[in-house]
Each structure stands twice: as C-alpha cells, then as structure tokens.
A and B are shown apart, each in its own frame.
Chain A
C-alpha cells in the first residue's frame, strides 16, 4: 500500500437487523487531506465514520490505518480478532469529535484532555498536564481548564473535545457533525479551529452539513446516499458541478434552506 494513504476502508458493509446501512463502501484518505462526507441524514456517513475507529463493527469488509487492520491482528495468511487492549491502542491512532461533544461530565476540562494520555497511553501526569495546557492554548481555552463541561458553552465544549481528540497525537481526526448541535452563533468558533487544523495539514475526515466549510476547506468531498458513496472528487467538482442527480437535488435543497436562513 502506498505510504501516503492514512485510512483505507475496503468493502465496508453494515447491517442493523434488516437495514443495510453501508453497502460496500471503499474510501482512501491521503495524508494531510481533509475529506468531507456529505449526504442526507440516514445515508450512512456517521456509520462509516464510526466504523473507522470501530465504534461500530462492520458486518463485512474492514478498515486499515497505516496498514494496521483495525480490530484485528495479522497472522501469517489470515486475520484474527485482536484483544481489547490492542484495539484501544489502535484507536489511539484516531481522534474523534462527536456531535454531542461527549466530554466526560465528572471531569474538568483539563482532566478531560489528560485522561486519554494518563489512562490510555500511561503518560506521567505532569507531562500529560503540560501537553493538555498546550492543546487548550491551541483552542484558546486555557482559562477554562478548571471548569466542568456543564459550565461552559457548547462551542467551548466542542473546542475542548477537539483538544481531547488531539491529545494522543492521532494520525487522523474524525469529526461526526461537529457543529450540528450548536447554536448558530457558536458554529464559527468551532469551524475556525478546524480550519486552522487543516492548515497545519492534520488529516481529517469530516461528516458535515456545512456545505460552505466543505467547499472552502475540503481537499476531497464524497457524497453519500443510501449507504453508498455516489459521487467523489474535489469540492469544485462535487459541490459546484455535481454530476449525479441525487447530489444536485441535495445541494439545491441545502442552498435553498441556507438562503431562507440568511433571509430570516
């Protein structure tokens, strides 16, 4: 495999009972790229993202991160399911930011950013603390270090979540609709942090409904529908000149809503 591919999903299928949520998805994510997954809700974007760090177990197919098959141990000639300890180590190659932030409610902002390092990696406390402060500085929240998540705004929580996701020096960051649960005036601060990460060539996979953000920042856009990727390319191709009917319909619909929003 070429060294420039960080994440490779191969033939990923996911069934929930009778529902075929992912229908054989292939995806290659080059190093330093920002890959945006667009599509209507229920199209499988989030499921695909959660298959990458194995929060969802694909029914068939698999995901490799830098040639390491997530959830498996390669033995001569075959794969074997790996231990939960090894899976945890593999997951540290990814960082995830959730729609609902999911900060640990019983820990302060600082403890949230330290937890993956101290409990996961076994980093000494002092060192983890130093790194946590660096990361909080990066998202502009050093002054909130001793606050509990319930006492800061949604936008601030999401910025903490980004700092937490970066703490293990992941090879790829996974964003699952990071701005969908935010009040409109708080969306900007989170997108600004993501923009600056993109400029630092952090590899990111972003599930989003922010079409303008995707058009501006993405290096690749994939449009998903009914569990498959139906159109891929650079944002100019997919967003400005979509070829597929479903893509055209979806984008037109999103633009209409957008202009209605701005008018209101």
Chain B
C-alpha cells in the first residue's frame, strides 16, 4: 500500500516548497492547530448523539463548530502560503526565463503586499468595531444568543492576525526574490 500514499505525500507534504524560516515555523505550527478540525468533528458527533439518542440537543455545539471551522479556514491562508500551495495559473509563468520569473516574483510580491496592506487596514476598522462599542468602552461582539460567546470578535481579530502574517511572509518572499541569483540568460535562451 505504499504506492498511493507516496503520491499523496509528494503532493501534500513536500518540504521543498518552503521558502523562508517564517514559512517553516508556520508550516510546523499546523501540527497543533489542525487538531481544531478534530475538535469540530468530535463536537458534531456529540451533538448528533445528544440529539438523536438522548433527545437533548446541546446549545453550544453549533456555535462552537462554526467558530472552530471558521478559524481553520482563516489560518489555512497563511499555511497554504507558507507551503506555496495557493492555486496559480502557471502556463505563462513557467514558460519564461528564470530572470523574467524573478521579475514576476518581485512584481507579484509587491501586488500581494498592497493587497494585504489594504486588507489589514480594513480588518483594523472591523476589529475596532467588534471589540469596542460606539461609546468607546471595551465590549466584545458576541453571537447574540443567550449563551453569546464572543466568537465574532475573536474571529475578526484572527482575520487581522492572518492578514498581517501573510503580509510579513510576503515581505520575506520579496526579499528572497530580490536576492535570488538567476543563471545567465543566454544559457536558458539556448534551450528555446
């Protein structure tokens, strides 16, 4: 049974894609963070049993799983960036010379930095509105239920954190791209 697992492993666990120290730290942290998915799974199963077998559905399962999974989705952004797993259209990118590719990498990093900066600005406004009420007092936005956990405020903060992390990751990618040496272009042009 080694063969098909090998295929998945090369697709999923390829450490070669990790470009910077920050990226590998983020990739490493998933070993802990990913258990949030397991928690969401367990809670869902508990809810089904509580409801179907004991006829006493919980009041907390729905909001808790939504929170955990939303958090997983957000964290997935920096994680996929760390492993360079975000989907790109590579047809043109792969066909150019290493020098041009380096220029593209620099350009793309700059565009992404602008994007994350805009997101960070917008998230900052969103976070301040969910952590403070209009009079300026600290008040964490809740789900509005009787239980009212402050999960919206926490998730909105997590949006800001993830965006800032991706900004910093991209700064490192930019530095790496600028420093990267490319082989002599004449050598690649011979190949065409």
Physical interaction between A and B = no
Residues of A within 8 A of B (CB): none
Residues of B within 8 A of A (CB): none
